[in-house]
Amino acid sequence: MELSQRILGMQASPIRRLVPYAEEAKRKGRSIYYLNIGQPDIKTPSGFFEAVRAYSRDVLAYGPSDGDPALIDAIIRYYRGYGMEFGRENVLITYGASEAISHTLMAVCDPGDEVLVPEPFYANYKTFVQSVNAVVVPVTTKAEQGFHLPGREEIERKITPRTRAIILCHPGNPTGTVFTRAEMEMVAGLARTHGFFILADEVYREFVYDGLEYVSFGNLEGVDEHVVIMDAVSKRYSACGARVGCLVSRNTELVAQVLKLCQARTCVGAMDMAGAAALYDTPVSYLKEVNDEYTTRRNTVYRALKRIPGVVCEEPKGAFYVVAKLPVDDAEKFIIWMLTSFDVGGETVMMSPAEGFYATPGLGRDEVRIAYVLKNEELAKAMDILKAGLEAYPGRIAPVAAG
């Protein structure tokens, strides 16, 4: 039986691909610091579970396709706190941010259309773009420049009559980059001039450090018809398993069209929506505590990386990831070697090879993504092990001496 070229052309998740090596290492008795996946260890607010436990009906029935009105209203109030006014006609509840992304792409792309994506990017963007037979057009960003966007002309060179959208992750996974207002205005200007959508993935909105000003694409003027925000409770409230997200846009025509897709999959889980609505009542002190915790973790990881000879990275300002260039022949080989052949006192480290976060062949081969989602002491140990691993690795490349 033949499968579609579309599905055969998709890559397996670069985040999960090396899991068999980790399982083998565990079988051999090694313990592993998992820095490969963005699964936070922070406690989910108890309000979620209380609301689920209190959810009692005679029949667990379908809910509304656009989402539970109590949840939609909670989300509208939440956005008001960020200076954005939305009504119920602007919000659709989705199965995580993932479904908001895939539904939006379905609504804006025809086969053969092009989607600009700054690389390195959240790897699933590529799968979602491919699933609608559209094409990722990468806009390369660099570790040395903190993965900020290149200038307007460079992006403009990638725009063609088939460009339908740009996807931006802000703050960025895997880069940790928080775009400046000037960069965002530049993107807004391009979207207006060339008539494409801005798909703003803002699931890490609360994970911005060092008191940096946070601006949402929904705060920008003059792009109401262009901006689609894709969001979720997954990271904000450490509720990845709830599978509740949303699509938010002032383009009511787009929202009305996407509703057809929501109707086709009937509704998001009713109990999960009830739990998610309760999450939005979590005191803001929770978000502040989580932000403080991640700032500490970021500092531990970044400072340790900067002390390792040959490692290149800029301080990440948001999300909970950092992409680092390592002095190795091939980052994937190095990660596998760490799992199969290296440990310090029976402990080793797992990271994600960054190559899978790029669309341009060959880029990211010497880079890894580190998710700083473990406790601070564990991260400190993991960084010591990484340093020792880099010293012992046979494929190590000697750092070029300065001057």
Ligand X SMILES: Cc1ncc(COP(=O)(O)O)c(C=O)c1O
Least Å from the CB of residue 241 to ligand X = 9
Q: What is residue 324's three-state secondary structure? A: strand
Contact 368, 326 (CB under 8 A): yes
Instruction: At 42, give phi and psi (nearest 5°).
Output: -70, 145
Cα separation of 70 and 273, whole Å?
A: 9
Query: What whole-number distance in Å separates Cα of residue 229 and Cα of residue 201?
Result: 6
Minimum CB separation of residue 180 from ligand X in Å reads: 19
Tell whether residue 203 is a contact of ligand X (CB under 6 A): yes
Site membership for ligand X, residue 38 (CB under 6 A): yes
Does 42 bind ligand X (CB under 6 A)? Our answer is: no
Contact flags string 334-373 toward ligand X, x per CB under 6 A: ----------------------------------------
> How far apart (Å, rounded) are the C-alpha atoms in residues 331 and 390?
11
Spatial neighbors of 292 by CB under 8 A, at least 6 apart, are: none
238 in contact with ligand X (CB under 6 A):
no
Question: Minimal distance in Å, beta carbon 321 to ligand X?
Answer: 8
Give the position of tokens 């090694």: 30
Q: Is 318 in the site for ligand X (CB under 6 A)?
A: no
* In the complex, minimum distance from the CB of residue 282 to ligand X, in angstroms, rounded to a whole number: 17
Tokens of 371: 């998710």
Query: Among 102, 104, 141, 173, which residue interacts with ligand X (rule: CB under 6 A)?
Result: 173
C-alpha 3/C-alpha 364 separation (Å) is: 30
Give me the residue whose beta carbon is nearest to ligand X. Answer: 96
**Contact code string over 140-169 relative to ligand X, x by CB under 6 A:** -----------------------------x
The single residue listed with the structure tokens 């260039």 is 325
Q: Is 275 in the site for ligand X (CB under 6 A)?
A: no
Binding of ligand X by 201 (CB under 6 A):
yes
Is 96 a binder of ligand X (CB under 6 A)?
yes
Please identify which residue in 35, 75, 92, 97 interacts with ligand X, judged by CB under 6 A.
Answer: 97
Cα angle at 217 between 212 and 222, to 5 degrees? 125
What distance in Å separates the CA atoms of residue 172 and residue 51, rounded to the nearest whole number? Answer: 31
Give the full edge-to-edge strand order of the sheet including 321-325.
321-325, 367-371, 352-353
Shortest CB 198 distance to ligand X, Å: 15
Least distance from C-beta 16 to ligand X, angstroms? Answer: 12
Is 36 an interacting residue with respect to ligand X (CB under 6 A)? Answer: no
DSSP 102-115: HHHHHHH--TT-EE
Question: Minimum distance between the CB of residue 176 and ligand X, rounded to whole angstroms?
Answer: 11
Asked if 331 and 396 touch (Cβ cutoff 8 Å), the reply is no
* 75 binds ligand X, rule: CB under 6 A: no
Q: Which residues bind ligand X (CB under 6 A)?
A: 38, 96-98, 122, 169, 173, 201, 203, 232, 234, 240, 245
